[in-house]
A and B are shown apart, each in its own frame.
Chain A
Amino acid sequence: MSVTRPEKSKLYYRKMPATWWLQKQSYFLFMLREFSSLFIALFLLVYLVEIYQLTKGPDAYAAFIHKLSSPGWIFFHVVVLLFALYHSFTWFQSSAVVLPVRLGEHLVPRQTVTALHIVAWAVISLVVLILFLTLKG
């Protein structure tokens, strides 16, 4: 325990109602951003289940893909995609704050750093898409 920092129990924490994040739009958006990680994890589990079907044969794999075409699953993936995009954009914005880019003496504006992240993201997504289309059987 460092000398400069008091023990946690000695710090004062203001009691907050459990619904504090509903009181202000910015708090609500913060909570949505936090929950994006849950939706992304849920999607990856669905993806893992899809890949698992391959152990049961090509028919099981095809049947699972067909199952995902139901309106309920499409709705699920629309919601997941919106959360994922929200995560991507807020992550690129915060990366620009956390990792400021310098060019010589000058600090590259945050918006530029975020924009560069978005360009990199588009390129990476395109590469994944091309690889998938090339390798798929």
Chain B
Amino acid sequence: MTMEKTTEPIWWGLFSAGGVVAAFLVPIHIILVGFALPLGWISDSGALYRIWWVKLYLFILIVLPLYHWGHRHYFTLNHMGLKPISKLLAVLCYGGAIFGTVVTVWVLLKI
């Protein structure tokens, strides 16, 4: 209980920041990655992903919406009748977002 109370503002802050990133930035990337590149409207060698500030941008683009998902989905699943396993949901949702952060950092450092 004490733990939940003290960390709530952090999760909510990440949720909110992730919501902003998802709202403003994600749709154009879906168009590029999901349609423009595979359907051959434009071509790309991926060279831009090696630029340091593009990596920083990608970190923000990918990681923040993961926390947005984690925080939002935790409550959604609770509201869908999974409250009895609330603790497990917290581990899966917030843990999933943290795991995603680590993987993203690893990929971005490796390319």
Contacts and interface: CB of A to CB of B under 8 A. Distances in A.
Interface of A: 1, 8, 16-18, 20-21, 31, 34-35, 37-38, 40-41, 43-48, 50-55, 58, 61, 65-69, 73-74, 76-78, 80-81, 84-85, 87-88, 91-92, 120-121, 124-125, 128-129, 132-133, 135-137
A48 B22 contact: no
Contacts of B49: 51, 54
Nearest to B40: A69
A74 B58 CA distance: 22
Interface of B is mostly: helix
Given A37-B22, A38-B73, A48-B104, A65 B38 contact: yes
Give the secondary structure class of A's interface. Answer: helix
Contact of B30 (A52, A84, A132): A84
Contact of A66 (B29, B38, B65, B69): B38
Contacts of A136: 42-45, 47-48
Contact of B22 (A31, A78, A91, A129): A91
B91 interface: no
A37 B65 contact: yes
Give the interface size bracket for B toward A.
35 or more
Contacts of B20: 91
Contact of A121 (B23, B31, B46, B51): B23
Interface of B: 1, 19-20, 22-35, 37-40, 42-51, 54, 58, 61-62, 65-66, 68-69, 72-73, 75-76, 79-81, 100, 103-104, 107-108, 110-111
A61 B23 contact: no
A88 B24 contact: yes
A6 to B, nearest CB: 13
B107 A128 contact: no
Contacts of B38: 65-69, 73-74
